[in-house]
Amino acid sequence: MHSEEQTLAVHTVINRGALKKWAPSANFAVGDNIAFGGARNTVYRAVEAGRSAPTGEGPTGKATRIRDGSVVWEWINDAAIAAKVGAYIETSVMPGAGPSWGAAFNYHLLPGAEPSFNPGVEFDYTNGSGKNCALGVADCTHLRVAAGGPNQITTNLAVLSDNKSSYAAIWGLRLNGDFLASEAVIAVDASSKVGLAFGRSGIGGASHSVATIEDVTNSPTALSIGGKKSIAGIVEHSTSPNGLALNGHYSGAQIVGKDFMVDPEGNVSAASITEPNSSPPKSSKSPCRVGQRAWDINYEYRCVASNTWKRAALASW
């Protein structure tokens, strides 16, 4: 055994030499990087200083020594990752390759091992530059997962378990820390049929013993809905006993809307109330529940006891 603590340790330093644009008869120093997009999709680094050729389109190919005038270039990587990279892995899956992985990390706590601090893979990102990464200006992303190509993949990020009889983890995905994010812990800025879906994929179980979404924080608002909705802010079409259950203790109101309110005791106050078309009872003994109301062009009806109606005549004035 060569090393017990660090079998493989790699420490890289990103130095000077941001991407430059290739031009004919231009001076380039050792370490200068140039990139070509489009079909060429290549990045080159100058390994010998010099002056580029007065004609042509710059270096081509993927050799380690490509002469361009008096400059000598070497191919570095695709232009799609034109920025400098501390560690770079590229995998090309050829026809007939079958199932394959770009990289695989398997971490096992063997019998007898004492669980303590055991992350399978850890990513630490520290911004000590003295400047904040401004939104829309810089892209300082801790973990970037990007998909592309003319054909769809299945999932950008999959967190799953093959366990059948016990839960594999306490949290499927945990985001914690009082100062984790200033704007939103989760920001969804993408167009799709559904922004956040539960049980939609049809893969695996989608049953929750307590709630699909739970908020037990002391936030000013549990759910804030804005923007322009063509149908409704909330659409509920389940088969649950109650469409909306309000079980809290409210000091102001249970529901506050435009020109109406339901107070903590359940009393409704509104600028006006319009009753839908009603089916008046056929007799004073028609089935009803206490408090039920009905009307027609001649009478107002009120259920005063179980299956007991009374009515009052309506008159013009």
Q: Is the pLDDT reported for residue 201 higher than 70?
A: yes
SS3 80: helix
In a domain, 42, yes or no: yes
pLDDT of residue 24: 96
pLDDT of residue 91: 84
Is the torsion defined by CA of 63, 67, 73, 79 positive or negative? negative
Q: State which H helix or E strand residue 299 sits in.
A: strand 299-305
33: which 2 tokens? 């990087």
**Residue-wise pLDDT tens digits, 145-193:** 888 888 999 999 999 888 888 999 999 999 999 999 999 999 999 999 9
Mean pLDDT of 78-87: 70
Confidence band (pLDDT; 50, 70, 90) for 85? confident
In a domain, 235, yes or no: no
pLDDT of residue 17: 62
pLDDT of residue 50: 96
In a domain, 86, yes or no: no
Q: How far apart are CA 152 and CA 149, in angstroms?
A: 7
Residues in the chain: 317
In a domain, 65, yes or no: yes
Q: How far apart are CA 274 and CA 260, in angstroms?
A: 12
**Residue-wise pLDDT tens digits, 97-145:** 999 998 999 999 999 999 999 999 999 999 999 999 988 888 899 998 8
| Structural domains of the chain, count | 1
Contact present, 58 and 68 (Cβ < 8 Å): yes
Confidence band (pLDDT; 50, 70, 90) for 31? confident
pLDDT, averaged across the chain? 89
In a domain, 75, yes or no: yes
Range of the domain at 33: 19-81
In a domain, 68, yes or no: yes
**Long-range contact pairs involving 62-71 (C-beta distance under 8 Å, separation at least 24):** 69/25, 71/28, 71/46
**Residue-wise pLDDT tens digits, 229-273:** 999 999 999 999 999 999 999 999 999 999 999 999 999 999 988
Q: Extract the runs of DSSP E, i.e. beta strands, from 144-259.
A: 255-257
Q: Which positions ≥6 away from 72 have C-beta within 8 Å?
A: 46, 47, 48, 50, 65, 66
Q: Is the pLDDT reported for residue 88 higher than 90?
A: no
Mean pLDDT of 26-37: 91
In a domain, 192, yes or no: no
For residues 308 and 21, which has the higher predicted lDDT (pLDDT)?
308
Q: How far apart are CA 68 and CA 66, in angstroms?
A: 6
Question: In 10 A of CB 35, how many CB atoms?
Answer: 21
Contact present, 273 and 280 (Cβ < 8 Å): no
Confidence band (pLDDT; 50, 70, 90) for 274? confident
pLDDT of residue 90: 79
pLDDT of residue 232: 93
Q: Is the pLDDT reported for residue 1 higher than 60?
A: no
In a domain, 141, yes or no: no
Q: How far apart are CA 278 and CA 262, in angstroms?
A: 23
